[in-house]
Each structure stands twice: as C-alpha cells, then as structure tokens.
Amino acid sequence: MEKVYLGTNTKMYKGLADTVSYVEELCRLTADLPREKLELFVIPSFIALDAARKSADQKLLRLGGQNMGWAEEGPYTGEISPRMLLECGATIAELGHSERRHVLGETDEMVNRKVLCAVEHGLTALLCIGETAEEKEKGLADEVLQMQLKRGLYQLPPPTGEQLWVAYEPVWAIGEQGVPATKEYAEERHRTIRRTLVQLFGEERGAQIPLLYGGSVNPENAVGLIQMEHIDGLFIGRSAWDAPRFSQLIRSVLDVCFPKETML
C-alpha cells in the first residue's frame, strides 16, 4: 500500500462557521503527517466549500462536493454543476451516497450520468455503492454491488486512480442505527468490487482504483479494517466530525500502515 485515503462527508450537519473551524483545526493537527502517504479529504456542505478552500491548505486537505448535477450548466434548479464545484475549490464529487439513493431517490442511471460528467470535467468521482439489509439477508450483496458498478460506470473509459474512487458503504452499516461491517465481511465485498472493476476496465486500470470502506467506522474498528488487503481507505461520518478525534484515528491508521521507521 503506497498511501491511505481517509476522509469524511459532513452531511447536512456543519454550516459555514463550523466547517471553517473544523478544517482549520484538522489541518493544524495533521500538518506533520506525510501527504505522500495520506490522501486526506473533507466533503462539506456546498455553502461552506469556498470558505473551507480559503481556510484549508490545499496541500494538506482536498475538498469535495456531496453531490453534483450531471451537466455543465442548464435548467436544473437546486443543482450544482461540475464547474461550480471546481470554482469553489472542490476536486472530488461524491456521487450516489446511500442517503441520496435511498432517501432522495437517486437511481443508478442518474449516478452514471454524474460520474461521466464529473470525470469529463477533471473531478475525482467518488462513487458510493452498497447493499441494503434486505439484500444482504437474501444473499444478494455481491450481485447488488456488481450491478451498481456496471450501471454506475456504464460507458466510462478505463479511469485512472485519480479519476475514480469507489466507496463501499453498506446501507445497514451507516449512521446512528448502523452496525459496522466486520473487517472480514468488508474485505469479501471489496474483493468482489475489485474483481468487477478489473472485468470492466482491465487488469491495470481496474487495480489502480482506490477502494474505501464506509459505515460506522470508529477509532476501535478503523485499524482492523485498513489492514485488510483490499481496503485502501476509510470514508467516515460521525467519528470524523471532531477534529482531534479524527486526527487520532488518522494517526493510528498511519501507524499500522506505515510503521514508524518508514514514516521518517
């Protein structure tokens, strides 16, 4: 593993002032950590992006949008275009988060249009996929993941690891009521995801795409998850929203991935 991907989506929680103080503190607390080994990102509310850009050192922290419209511009009331995201300092577009799919009705086809548009505009598309509790119960998890990947990435030319990241976030693992996946279960699903990406994009490109696990990641399970062969990063909600707590988690992950002698 060359670097780990650690980031958070602050959902509809942190406003302007909270986001600014959060990213400032996070940059300060993690400034000493080597960025060639750590890709750190924060995905705040749209309204806080520009201010976050101004208060966070871009060399320490990448920013992303929590959603994106699928066109450069147009009559899409309430949507944000890729150009607008870039203009506010976002370089990542988070697409297809479970809350957008299951609460707001986003389909694989909508997600696909967004992925194509994000990549076309030079953003990193962070595609989120994951099965529901019912699908898991019926033994359909791998089929669901394959379907979400094949539909969500339809007609995408083989991407580099900078153009596409995939987050596996089982719906049943996310949020207050969520139960985190065991590291063994997450690793199995990540294997399926990797296999599908290789099928879609070939050995070389398929193997480059970073795979992140998300869903009730916390300081207790983060280290076990990141040590799994096919888990390249963690996408964290609640456990990352306090900067000192997140910084501790980042340090413990880096400690196991890159034992001290290699950090020097």
Q: Which residues bind ligand PGA (CB under 6 A)?
A: 9, 169, 174-175, 178, 214-217, 235-239
Rounded Cα distance, 178 and 136, in Å: 14
Q: Please state the closest distance from residue 176 (CB atom) to ligand PGA, in A.
A: 8
Nearer to ligand PGA, 104 or 264 (CB): 104
Nearer to ligand PGA, 183 or 238 (CB): 238
Rounded Cα distance, 80 and 117, in Å: 12
Catalytic residue (choose from 94, 99, 131, 169): 169
Locus of tokens 């300092």: 89
- Residue 169 appears among annotated catalytic residues: yes
| CA-based nearest residue to 231, from 256, 201, 251 | 256
- Closest residue to ligand PGA, Cβ-based? 237
On whether the CB atoms of residues 23 and 56 are closer than 8 A, the answer is yes
- Residue 230 appears among annotated catalytic residues: no
On whether the CB atoms of residues 153 and 198 are closer than 8 A, the answer is no
Nearer to ligand PGA, 196 or 216 (CB): 216
Is residue 197 packed enough to be buried (19+ CB in 10 Å), middle (13-18) or exposed (0-12)?
A: buried
Q: Please state the closest distance from residue 235 (CB atom) to ligand PGA, in A.
A: 5
Nearer to ligand PGA, 54 or 102 (CB): 102
Q: Please state the closest distance from residue 17 (CB atom) to ligand PGA, in A.
A: 22
Report, as residue numbers or ranges, the catalytic residues: 97, 169
